[in-house]
Structure 1
Amino acid sequence: MSSGLVLDRLEIEVTETALLNEEHDAIGDLRRLRDMGVRVALDDFGTGYSSLAHLRAFPFDKIKIDGSFVKDAVERPDCAAVVRAIADLGKSLGVTTVAEGVETQAHFDRVKKEGCIEVQGYFFSRPMPSENDAAIVTELNNKRTRVARP
């Protein structure tokens, strides 16, 4: 059955823990998904056992920095350095870095300063039911149109 979803609009998030259990099978599965146009994100980066090895072995499009680093980056220089290092690593590897757990303006400002390309968290919105999707997309498109006009 076809959903009508364009596959390059689909993003699968995979945690390092999930990869540890079935690493060999997962590599092939992730490559096949990417070949179909699906994007693959490594979730909760920095909290697993072998993050750097996974970056070499798996075909990721995004690295999602764990929210624990993001939350502490405002007050702790060592956590800010971790966020910056992961953002720099992502840039060097040609993958997008996403800061998870952005809940305040201070979190947002810090992760942007440290080089994160995308952000995610309650600062923007709490999770919503899928029946709200159409209205949200329409609202975002209207905002873009208003901003784009002279």
Structure 2
Amino acid sequence: MDYRAVGLKVGVEIHRQLDTGHKLFCDCPTILSTKPPTVAFERRLRPTQSELGQIDPAALFEFHKGKTVTYEADPETTCLVELDEEPPHLLNPEAVDVALTMSMLLHAKPLDEIHVMRKVVIDGSNTTGFQRTA
């Protein structure tokens, strides 16, 4: 197959915890707490419609399981943003700088805008029912 003829474009998504002063969407430190959690709360996550008015079938499947998830946290490393009780803050400029530096080192071509989006995830792995991506 001639990949250029079909216009194939391939991207790479890399997940890595950065050694920055604080997390991407809040002012909490990027360390993992070793203390016993002192905060606990429960959530039953629900699917929501996409921008196109559709509900993801996988999210609907998870919802019908009727699970309630208990989350535990240490208030020294977790805040209201992560508990989904406060809107996300502006992107951590230090993290953006690290990402752009890595892009340049890899000879990538980063775009001139960053769009933060929400990806539906209601398996209980996060408190909001979605993952923020940029």
Scaled by the length of structure 1, what TM-score is found? 0.20
Q: TM-score scaled by structure 2?
A: 0.21
Question: Higher Cα Rg: structure 1 or 2?
Answer: 2
Instruction: Select the structure with the greater relative contact order (CA < 8 A; seq sep ≥ 6).
Output: 2
More helix by share: 1
